[in-house]
């Protein structure tokens, strides 16, 4: 527990909460480690209404992110600062440098790095850019940047309705019009991670769209390592002529217009988002091409995406 004398310029609850709120920290206790970590960038500050005037820039003692030393206090500080500058990306300030934190670092780095590496080093370019954004935002409660576009290559498609008749009219009969898609990054079988998949079979009419989607996922996470960290390389099926599990209707896999990813953590009956872990960013990428998401449509089966509306 951090004693209150570590932050001598905050003397009362109201001032503490004005400081905590924009950083996404739980309101209340001025002595908790989240508040202290968030306060570290400001050695001395004058609280005037909602205005904070910093005289010291953010500091971390070690690298944060993918491959970093990831000291808990450093990670909490970076999480708090990223929450401050992003308008629609909120991280849990828990001191754990997981895939969401690393992804947020990548999204920030995309604005100035050709090859984001999901890591913030002491004294490096990313921390200096973050310092600049914090300085810009410190006199306002409004975050200064929004997420970068998912990808400039995604194009909304006019897929058919989710009925056998509409699907057959648009895509052809079941088990027809098969084509290979060369994957933009190597995937692994979800049930056998030792087996690498470099191409998959799908319906000819979805080849280009699915290729753009997977390329956008790779672009979003910044590297194959980032994709793997998010488990988006775990291929669980595409073209498979069969009935729906637990039903009598034909699965959309029978036409090769559906793909399953990371079935282990996003199973058929696993509720999303309470338990299933499919990232909403990935769902948005599929939706940008007009694909239907099991997570959005049914609140479960989050591994599943299909080219229907």
Write out the H or E segment, with its range, that includes residue 163: none
Residues 84-99, mean pLDDT to the nearest whole number: 85
Closest by Cα among 31, 137, 119 to 78 = 119
> Cβ(256)–Cβ(280) under 8 Å?
no
Task: Determine the pLDDT at residue 195.
Answer: 98
Kindly report each contact of residues 134-141 with a partner whose C-beta sits within 8 Å and lies 24 or more positions away, as own/partner.
134/41, 134/54, 134/57, 134/58, 134/81, 134/84, 134/85, 135/54, 135/57, 137/84, 137/85, 138/51, 138/52, 138/53, 138/54, 139/51, 139/52, 139/53, 141/21, 141/22, 141/50
For residue 273, pLDDT over 90 is answered with yes
Q: What is the pLDDT of residues 1-36, one digit of tens each?
A: 444 344 444 444 554 554 455 444 555 555 555 555
With bands split at pLDDT 50, 70 and 90, how would you rate the model's confidence at 221?
confident
Domains and CATH numbers, the chain: 1-147 (1.10.101.10), 164-306 (3.30.1380)
Question: Helix, strand or coil for residue 101?
Answer: helix
Task: Determine the pLDDT at residue 86.
Answer: 81
Residue with tokens 């979800």: 190
Predicted TM-score (pTM) above 0.75: no
Residues 231-242, mean pLDDT to the nearest whole number: 96
For residue 265, pLDDT over 90 is answered with yes
Task: Determine the pLDDT at residue 57.
Answer: 54
Average pLDDT, the chain: 83
For residue 305, pLDDT over 60 is answered with yes
Quick one: what percent of the chain has pLDDT higher than 70?
Answer: 75
């Amino acid at each position: 527990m951090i004693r209150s004398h570590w932050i001598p310029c905050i003397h009362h609850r109201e001032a503490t909460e004005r400081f905590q709120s924009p950083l996404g920290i739980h309101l209340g206790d001025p002595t908790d480690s989240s508040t202290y970590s968030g306060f570290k960038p400001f050695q001395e500050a004058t609280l005037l209404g909602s205005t904070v005037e910093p005289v010291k820039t953010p500091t971390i003692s070690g690298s944060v992110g993918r491959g970093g030393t990831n000291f808990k206090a450093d990670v909490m500080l970076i999480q708090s600062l990223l929450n401050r500058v992003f308008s629609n990306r909120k991280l849990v300030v828990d001191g754990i440098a997981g895939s969401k934190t690393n992804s947020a670092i990548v999204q920030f780095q995309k604005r100035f790095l050709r090859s984001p590496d999901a890591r913030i080093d002491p004294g490096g370019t990313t921390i200096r850019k973050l310092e600049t954004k914090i300085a810009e935002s410190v006199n306002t409660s409004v975050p200064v940047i929004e997420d970068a576009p998912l990808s400039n290559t995604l194009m909304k498609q006019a897929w058919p309705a989710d009925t056998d008749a509409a699907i057959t009219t648009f895509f052809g009969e079941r088990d027809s019009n098969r084509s290979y898609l060369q994957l933009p990054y190597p995937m692994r079988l979800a049930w056998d991670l030792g087996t690498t998949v470099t191409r998959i079979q799908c319906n000819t009419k979805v080849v280009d769209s699915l290729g753009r989607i997977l390329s956008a996922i790779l672009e979003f996470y910044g590297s194959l390592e980032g994709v793997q960290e998010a488990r988006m390389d775990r291929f669980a099926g595409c073209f498979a002529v069969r009935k729906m599990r637990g039903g009598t209707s034909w699965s959309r896999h029978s036409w090769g217009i559906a793909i399953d990813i990371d079935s282990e953590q996003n199973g058929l009956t696993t509720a999303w988002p309470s338990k299933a872990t499919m990232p909403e960013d990935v769902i948005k990428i599929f939706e940008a091409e007009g694909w239907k998401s099991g997570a959005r449509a049914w609140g479960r089966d989050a591994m599943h995406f299909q080219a229907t509306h």
